Amino acid sequence: MRVAVLNGVNLDLLGRRDPEQYGSLSYSELETRIYSWAQELGLTVRCRQTNSEGQYVEWCHDALDWADGVIVNPGAWTHYSYAIHDALEPHTAPLVEVHLSNVDEREEWRRVSVLEDLAAKRIVGKGPEGYREALEFLAAR
Ligand code: DQA
């Protein structure tokens, strides 16, 4: 099973931004964990991060032809990007929305997810473990 993990804006700053919310792991350490969990589960993962919304949309399109499952953490785009919503809408593969922090208990604007209606599962507030849970969810399908 092939899984695209698409991380968005500002996630490259992990380890240097608000450790109370996002923990102390760097982005590259997070990727290393994701690849090792994927290996344990027998999944082929392609993990990517960008700060460019257009690039993110392109990767959503690429995942249409490649992925059997998609994990997204678009960062702040989650809360307002209808372009990303529409790029993910044609997907028939299951989609999991992951957030390191508990967005449902933070500022009002973070409680809105424009992708929510597309997600087979939403995992928030579990830190890096949220990605493991998302991989397990996809592996079990
Ligand atoms: C985030 C939550 C978003 O509100 C925020 O803008 C991020 C990270 C998370 O993983 O908790 O950049 O998606």
Amino acid letter for position 113: S
The angle formed by the CA atoms of residues 59, 10 and 110, to the nearest 5 degrees, is 95
3-class SS of residue 45? strand
Amino acid letter for position 130: G
3-class SS of residue 21? helix
Report the chain's mean pLDDT, rounded to a whole number.
97
> Which of the residues 56, 85, 99, 131 is marked catalytic?
99
pTM above threshold 0.95: yes
Active site residue 99: yes
Return d(Cα 61, Cα 73) in angstroms, integer.
16
Does residue 126 line the site of ligand 1, with CB under 6 A?
Answer: no
Residue ranges of domains in the chain: 2-58+74-139
Which of the four pLDDT bands, split at 50, 70 and 90, describes residue 21?
very high
pLDDT of residue 46: 98
Half-sphere exposure of 28 (CA within 13 A, CB side): 0
CA of 75 to the centre of ligand 1 (A): 4
CATH 3.40.50.9100 fits 2-58+74-139, yes or no: yes
Which residue has its alpha carbon closest to ligand 1 atom 7? 75
CA of 99 to the centre of ligand 1 (A): 6
pLDDT (tens digit per residue) in 77-136: 999 999 999 999 999 999 999 999 999 999 999 999 999 999 999 999 999 999 999 999
3-class SS of residue 9? coil
Under 8 Å between Cβ of 103 and 80: no
Active site residue 85: no
pLDDT of residue 33: 98
